[in-house]
Amino acid sequence: MEFKFDPADEAFRQEVRAFVEANLKPDIKARMERGFYPTRTEMAWWMGVLADKGWGAPNWPVEYGGSGWSPLRRMIFEEECVEADAPPRKMGNLVNIGPILYTYGSEEQKRLYLNRTLRGDIIWCQGFSEPNAGSDLASLRTRAVRDGDHYIVNGQKLWTSGAHESDMMYALVRTDNSVKAQLGITFLLLDMKTSGITVRPIIAINQSHMVNEVFFDNVRVPVENRVGEEGTGWTIAGSLLASERAFSAEIPHTAHDLKRLKRIATRELRRGKPLIDDPLFRAKIVRLEVSLRALEFSMMRVLSAGPAESQQAVASVLKMRGSDLRQRVAELMVEALGDYAMAYYPDPFMPPSDDPDPPGPDHASGIANAFLFRRAFTIVGGSNEVQRNIIAKSILKL
Ligand SMILES: Cc1cc2nc3c(=O)[nH]c(=O)nc-3n(C[C@H](O)[C@H](O)[C@H](O)COP(=O)(O)OP(=O)(O)OC[C@H]3O[C@@H](n4cnc5c(N)ncnc54)[C@H](O)[C@@H]3O)c2cc1C
For residue range 231-259, list pLDDT tens digits in order: 999 999 998 887 787 777 899 999 999 99
Answer whether residue 5 shows pLDDT above 80: no
pTM over 0.85: yes
SS3 at position 314: helix
How large is the average pLDDT for residues 262-290? 96
Q: In this structure, which residue's CA is closest to atom 13 in ligand 1? A: 159
- For residue 389, give the ligand 1 atom closest to its CA: 42
Predicted local confidence at residue 307, as pLDDT: 55
SS3 at position 218: strand
Answer whether residue 309 shows pLDDT above 50: no
The candidate with the shortest Cα–Cα distance to 357, out of 85, 35, 27, 29, is: 35
The candidate with the shortest Cα–Cα distance to 128, out of 385, 380, 394, 387, is: 380
Rounded-to-integer distance, Cα 20 and Cα 85, Å? 9
Mean pLDDT of the chain: 93
Predicted local confidence at residue 395, as pLDDT: 86
258 or 381: which carries more pLDDT confidence? 258
Predicted local confidence at residue 240, as pLDDT: 85
Answer whether residue 1 shows pLDDT above 80: no
Q: Is the CB of 383 under 6 A from ligand 1?
A: yes
**Residue 335 burial (CB < 10 Å; 0-12/13-18/19+)?**
middle
How large is the average pLDDT for residues 140-148? 98
Q: Which residues contact 147 (CB under 8 A, 6 or more apart)?
A: 220
Predicted local confidence at residue 249, as pLDDT: 85
What distance in angstroms lies between residue 273's CA and the mean position of ligand 1's atoms?
43
Q: Is the CB of 212 under 6 A from ligand 1?
A: no
Are 182 and 163 spatial neighbours (Cβ–Cβ below 8 Å)? no
Instruction: From the candidates 244, 250, 296, 335, give the one annotated as an active-site residue.
Output: 244
Distance of CA 76 to the CA centre of its chain: 18
> Is residue 244 annotated as part of the catalytic site, yes or no?
yes
First-to-last alpha carbon distance for the chain, in angstroms, is 35
- Tell me the residue type at 122: I
SS3 at position 350: coil
Kindly list the structural domains of the chain, giving each domain's residue range(s) and its CATH number in brackets, ordered by start: 7-89 (no CATH), 124-232 (2.40.110.10), 248-394 (1.20.140.10)
Answer whether residue 194 shows pLDDT above 70: yes
Are 24 and 43 spatial neighbours (Cβ–Cβ below 8 Å)? no
313 or 391: which carries more pLDDT confidence? 391
Answer whether residue 308 shows pLDDT above 70: no
Q: Is the CB of 138 under 6 A from ligand 1?
A: no
What distance in angstroms lies between residue 94's CA and the mean position of ligand 1's atoms?
22
How large is the average pLDDT for residues 207-219? 96
Q: In this structure, which residue's CA is closest to atom 40 in ligand 1? A: 386
Answer whether residue 222 shows pLDDT above 80: yes
How large is the average pLDDT for residues 63-91? 94
> 192: which DSSP letter?
T
What distance in angstroms lies between residue 234's CA and the mean position of ligand 1's atoms?
17
Q: Is the CB of 41 under 6 A from ligand 1?
A: no
How large is the average pLDDT for residues 279-298? 95
Rounded-to-integer distance, Cα 306 and Cα 324, Å? 24
Q: Is the CB of 37 under 6 A from ligand 1?
A: no
Predicted local confidence at residue 113, as pLDDT: 98
Q: What is the pLDDT of residues 317-351, one digit of tens each?
A: 999 999 999 999 999 999 999 999 888 777 888 88
Task: State the Rg of the chain over Cα.
Answer: 22
Q: How confident is the model at residue 3 (pLDDT cuts 50, 70, 90)?
A: low
How large is the average pLDDT for residues 218-230? 98
* CA geometry: angle 196, 202, 208, nearest 5 deg: 130
Distance of CA 119 to the CA centre of its chain: 17
Best residue among 139, 166, 380 to mutate for probing ligand 1's pocket (most ligand atoms within 8 Å of CB) is 380
Are 64 and 109 spatial neighbours (Cβ–Cβ below 8 Å)? no
Q: Which of 189-203, 289-303, 309-323, 371-385 has the lowest mean pLDDT?
A: 309-323
Answer whether residue 357 shows pLDDT above 80: no
